[in-house]
Structure 1
Amino acid sequence: MLRILHSLPRTHKLLLLPVATMVTVLGAQKIVTTYQDVQRTHQTLDTVLVPLEADARPGLPSLTFDRSPVADAIEIATQALDATRSHVPLASLTATEIVDLDLIESASAAGADPEVPLALARPAEAPGQPQPSRLDDGAVHMAVVIGTIGSGMLDHDGGLVADATSYEEVPDEELALFDEGPILLEQEIAAAEPYVPEWQTYTVQQGDTFAVMAQNHLGLGYSEVLRLLDQLPDQNALTRWRAGNSFDYQLDEDGRLLALRLMRNARSGFLVERDEADGFDVATIERAGEATQRLFAGTVSGSFARSAQATGLSSTEVTELTRVLSKKLDFRRDTRRGDRFQVLVESDIIDGDSFDPRVLAVQYEGERLDLTLVRNGTDNNFYTPDGESLDPAFNRYPFEGSYRLSSNFNPRRKHPVTGRISPHKGTDFAMPIGTPIRAPADGRVEKVGNHPAAGRYIVVRHDNGYRTRYLHLSRPLVSRGDRVTMGERIALSGNTGRSTGPHLHYEVLVNNSQVDPMKVKLPENKSLTGEQLMAFQRQAEPLLAALQSGQTGTVVAQARRDEVDD
């Protein structure tokens, strides 16, 4: 039994202690009652007989008592203690009540009358009062034995559970059931709970370095710090700090780093976790934002870029807007004070910050040009509401008919007289003076001039970004800043400047560098037709409605998304 008690948790021992004490005290009460009877009949202690119950079996005496609910234990113990201090007769206490938790060591008579029962007391000695008689050691021992047996060694009928014997010695350390110091239930319960790491936040202070901070706060050694930095896709995230930046981390029970979460911005960051091999695993964090549409409206006043920024557009959004409009709009010549524009922008909003802004639609109402463009979600290109592309087809030849190619594009050409390298950066077509020259694609006339070597010439900047030059003309038909369309007559061929005969010198420039006009890859017609056009127009309808509303601010974008999903 002692082994069982010793194996129990300390908190269980506390719960069993009151039960064992109650049984022991009740057994002691039984002995005291018997001792009173002996005093009345003047028997000697060595002939004391413990009276048995009427239904008791042979063996040890029965200690069967009615049990009081455990909930009443405190109240009953208090009553018993008060009774002891006030010399209340023991007979007035029922067997179910709990008396003083101390083992009875003495008993005294309340008077000469043998009918008056003994009372439990430890009063100070006073002259003239009868002195208490101490209980025999045998009675004390019997109380301990009865209490031990009553705590569980008897069956329900009062008989022995088994032959009461022992063949093994119990070590002293196993007998010390409560020698582990004071028991604090809160500490015992807390010790049984599993350790759960909590996220903590560290704010970077002026002069902090990750290596020093990691050793002081994260329990990392210098070699671990270097190994962690090597595994990060971007070491600058931990080495180039700014005071006020922060990151989250978790520590184990020993104060060593378990996990570290670092956000470079509201959208992306890294998660570092310790693995089973005591190394680190690094994962990338990507937060998805909520797509939000905003409508901006403004009026041109001076520079278009400054006018656009005045509406609240960010620098990134202004850059994309000017890139889109520049294919149709010359900001230096086509914009006029008082021109109006509206821009519908969509971006991902995370924690109040805007990410990945996208121009969805733009409407420009100007003195020289009216233009409406809508982004096509299928190919991310911009079209007019009718499906016309900003990058129309580009003709290979700037004229109609067929004319002989008199000199090819040749950057390594040698001069026929000097023998030196004299690059020919265009293509010459021999043709009669006055042959119409036509624009190979939509664009705007960038320059009209006259040069001693090139003669009369024209430069056109096209909507797809290409530029073309026409030299040795007899007469230009357009002026600087004019808008031209594919196939429109722009000049007449001639023989001006340094020329050996009537011809057209034709150049194509890509990224401000001359290329071979006969070999350069030219854009094809990308205008939408058929089902593609119908799908685009369904998608563009809510965007155009938002532009027409004129209500700046946040715009509900769900309608457009539903249209696309259908």
Structure 2
Amino acid sequence: MLRILHSLPRTHKLLLLPVATMVTVLGAQKIITLVGDTQGPDPVADTHFLPLSPESRPGLPSLNTEHLPVADAIAVASQALDATRETIPLSQLVPSEIVELESPAGNDEPNIETAGEPLTAGLSPATQEGDTAPSQIDDAALHIALVLGTLTSGMLDDSIPAGDDTPATSYDDVSDEELALFDEGPIILEEEIAASEPYVPEWETYTVESGDTFVVLAQNRLGLGYGEAMELLESLPEPRLLTHWRPGNQFEYQLDEEGQLALLRMMKNGREGVIVERTDEAFDVATIERTGEAAQRLFAGTVSGSFVRSAQATGLSISEVTQVSRLLEKKLDFRRDTRRGDEFQVLVESDVIDGESFDSRVLAVRYLGERMNLTVVRNSADNNFYTPDGASLDPAFRRRPFDGSYRLSSSFNPNRKHPVTGRISPHRGTDFAMPIGTPIVAPANGRVEKVGNHPLAGRYVVIRHDNGYRTRYLHLSRQLVSRGERVTMGERIALSGNTGRSTGPHLHYEVHVNDSAVDAMKVSLPENTSLSGEALAAFQNEAEPLLATLESGETGPVVASTASEREAADDDS
């Protein structure tokens, strides 16, 4: 019985489990179909037997077989029972075809009659003489007997009669896991379904508290050993992200099924961060770079004191103020040209991520002052600033700082040997022989950085130009500018001379790029970068909406003003 039950698919096992249990309890060798009315005065005498149909075949009934309604099935069974009583005497039943479920008094086991013993043994005389059994049969008992007989007809046969064409095969292949289903206790579907679900890690967030150190947290929360925590730190491009954090900083992590670190994510700011993945051999680190939505902000204010403080009062960041200052100082001397009450506007574009601004870019600046008016707009083609008519703030750089033609008496030579000592004595400038008092002019716009007198260089002037270059003029007879003064290309700055250690009247001229001396006669110098033609037309089309923004004063999420302007507005209201 159990062997047959094991061969069935899992679905049939679950359906037939109650039936198999009942059959096992009854201890049946072969169930034919029988009903016992135990409610009569004599349980043994009231036992009834119902033989199987001659057409019954071994095997289980198909689930697709049409079933009669219970009421109809009971009626059919009752008719069959009545016919059996009339045609088959009890004494003619063969022991191998009946099973007696009613136990004689005092016997706990069902009495299964064996061959060689009379079937009527132990029965009352009335029964032996063929007395009829009570005609009334309990409907529930009849229905149970009918169902058991149908399901178990021939199911326990070990062989099939010769000549039977019924195919002998199992329903399905059965795996070891399915066989073990009945060996491990009762089936609990909820647990079986839960066990088949894959493990899905979830992101967890930790907020740094005062006194936290990453190595300790890695051991207590991330399941890492001390050596693994140190290895993780060494794999980071910036270990300070995890070693120099502050209370309130956060990092996110995922743990695997064993409770060990699988992924760790730490943001440096709203835009940049790193993600660390733990593998079998090492920690793989990748950078994170988030993109934000570009937004424009317009800041407006008036000068009340220094320009830098006035600009910061509008809400501009330090980096944004630095950009504006370096831009305006190409044309504006903040110390001499700014006046209290001068007005300015700054249009800034930045990437906004989670309400925080990154990569601020100045798009346009307007300065309306008592001594100078200036409006400049960024050109996206080269990231340089131009006036609305396309004029550049970085004009051409002259090759020679004087007018006329003078002899080049000593060239730039970093490997020159001293004529007396024979040692290497670099010559980091270009010498022009010229009479004392020859006018020297600025080769480009800039600001005077130094003016002084030196025992070897004599009187000298140093100018820092708008394009970042720096020029030096030595052995002068007179300086015509002061430290911090703004100069323009072609403006007189000094007169040539023969001061300091010099072998004759001349001008010693130097050009420095990135604070390193270069050959002034060979270095690549900026040419006139003013726009023209198609480049000018494209720039003006791009500048038009930016200039309109400066005029209207409306754009972006923020329009800032100085504190004095806000107070004035409050007073007017």
Q: TM-score, normalised by structure 2?
A: 0.66
Residue matched to 2:258: 254
Q: Equivalent of 2:467, from 457, 464, 468?
A: 464
> Residues of 2 paired with 1:14 and 1:226: CA distance?
56
> Residues of 1 paired with 2:179 and 2:41: CA distance?
35
Compute the displacement of 1:297 (Å). 0.8
- What is the CA deviation profile of residues 191-237 of structure 1, one whole-angstrom value per residue up to 9, with x for unaligned ones? 12222222222222332222222222222233332333332222222
> Residues of 1 paired with 2:318 and 2:37: CA distance?
103
After TM superposition, the structure 1 = structure 2 runs for residues 130-145 of structure 1, keeping only pairs within 5 Å, are: none
Q: Say if 1:437 and 1:492, in contact at 8 Å, map to a contact too.
A: yes
After TM superposition, the structure 1 = structure 2 runs for residues 176-187 of structure 1, keeping only pairs within 5 Å, are: 180-181=184-185, 183-187=187-191
Residue matched to 1:197: 201
After TM superposition, the structure 1 = structure 2 runs for residues 130-279 of structure 1, keeping only pairs within 5 Å, are: 147-149=151-153, 162=166, 180-181=184-185, 183-275=187-279, 277-279=280-282
Q: Say if 1:439 and 1:486, in contact at 8 Å, map to a contact too.
A: yes
Compute the displacement of 1:336 (Å). 1.1
> Residues of 2 paired with 1:488 and 1:176: CA distance?
101
> Residues of 2 paired with 1:257 and 1:195: CA distance?
14
Compute the displacement of 1:320 (Å). 1.5
Q: Equivalent of 2:525, from 500, 522, 525?
A: 522
Residue matched to 1:363: 366
Aligned AA for 2:537?
A: M
Say if 1:30 and 1:380 are closer, same or farther in 2 by CA, change over 3 A: same
Secondary structure of 2:358's match?
strand
Say if 1:388 and 1:409 are closer, same or farther in 2 by CA, change over 3 A: same
Compute the displacement of 1:344 (Å). 1.0
Gaps of 5+ in 2: 79-100, 105-131, 158-163, 171-177, 560-573
Q: Say if 2:19 and 2:148, in contact at 8 Å, map to a contact too.
A: no
Q: Say if 1:390 and 1:464, in contact at 8 Å, map to a contact too.
A: no
Compute the displacement of 1:17 (Å). 3.6
Q: Equivalent of 2:343, from 325, 337, 340?
A: 340
Compute the displacement of 1:535 (Å). 2.0
- What is the CA deviation profile of residues 53-110 of structure 1, one whole-angstrom value per residue up to 9, with x for unaligned ones? 6xx62668999997589xxxxxx9xxx9xxxxxxxxx989999xxxxxxxx9799xxx
- What is the CA deviation profile of residues 313-340 of structure 1, one whole-angstrom value per residue up to 9, with x for unaligned ones? 1111111211222222221112111111
Compute the displacement of 1:341 (Å). 0.9
Secondary structure of 2:340's match?
coil
Residue matched to 2:324: 321
Secondary structure of 1:554's match?
coil
1:32 aligned onto 2:41: no
- What is the CA deviation profile of residues 415-464 of structure 1, one whole-angstrom value per residue up to 9, with x for unaligned ones? 99x99999988666454566554442234567889999999987655433
Residue matched to 2:490: 487
Compute the displacement of 1:362 (Å). 0.9
Q: Say if 1:474 and 1:496, in contact at 8 Å, map to a contact too.
A: no
- What is the CA deviation profile of residues 129-158 of structure 1, one whole-angstrom value per residue up to 9, with x for unaligned ones? xxxxxxxxxxx99996765349999xxxxx
Residue matched to 2:398: 395
Compute the displacement of 1:546 (Å). 1.6
Residue matched to 1:50: 50
Secondary structure of 2:245's match?
coil
1:283 aligned onto 2:286: yes
> Residues of 2 paired with 1:292 and 1:150: CA distance?
85
Say if 1:152 and 1:495 are closer, same or farther in 2 by CA, change over 3 A: same
Residue matched to 1:554: 557
Say if 1:68 and 1:393 are closer, same or farther in 2 by CA, change over 3 A: farther
Q: Say if 2:271 and 2:289, in contact at 8 Å, map to a contact too.
A: yes
What's the RMSD between the two structures over aligned residues?
A: 5.4
**Identity %, equivalent residues:** 66
Say if 1:244 and 1:18 are closer, same or farther in 2 by CA, change over 3 A: farther
Q: TM-score, normalised by structure 1?
A: 0.67
- What is the CA deviation profile of residues 272-324 of structure 1, one whole-angstrom value per residue up to 9, with x for unaligned ones? 2233x454322211111111111111111111111111111111111121122
Q: Say if 1:20 and 1:151, in contact at 8 Å, map to a contact too.
A: no
Aligned AA for 1:226?
A: M
Q: Say if 2:208 and 2:250, in contact at 8 Å, map to a contact too.
A: yes
> Residues of 1 paired with 2:479 and 2:167: CA distance?
134
> Residues of 2 paired with 1:9 and 1:244: CA distance?
59
> Residues of 2 paired with 1:451 and 1:176: CA distance?
101
Say if 1:212 and 1:488 are closer, same or farther in 2 by CA, change over 3 A: closer
Q: Say if 1:247 and 1:262, in contact at 8 Å, map to a contact too.
A: yes
Gaps of 5+ in 1: 70-75, 81-89, 96-103, 122-139, 154-159, 167-173, 557-566
Say if 1:188 and 1:396 are closer, same or farther in 2 by CA, change over 3 A: same
- What is the CA deviation profile of residues 171-208 of structure 1, one whole-angstrom value per residue up to 9, with x for unaligned ones? xxx99975644554432321122222222222223322
Aligned AA for 1:266?
A: G
Secondary structure of 2:349's match?
strand
Deviates more, 1:11-20 or 1:380-389: 11-20
Say if 1:372 and 1:179 are closer, same or farther in 2 by CA, change over 3 A: same
Number of equivalenced pairs: 489
> Residues of 2 paired with 1:376 and 1:445: CA distance?
28
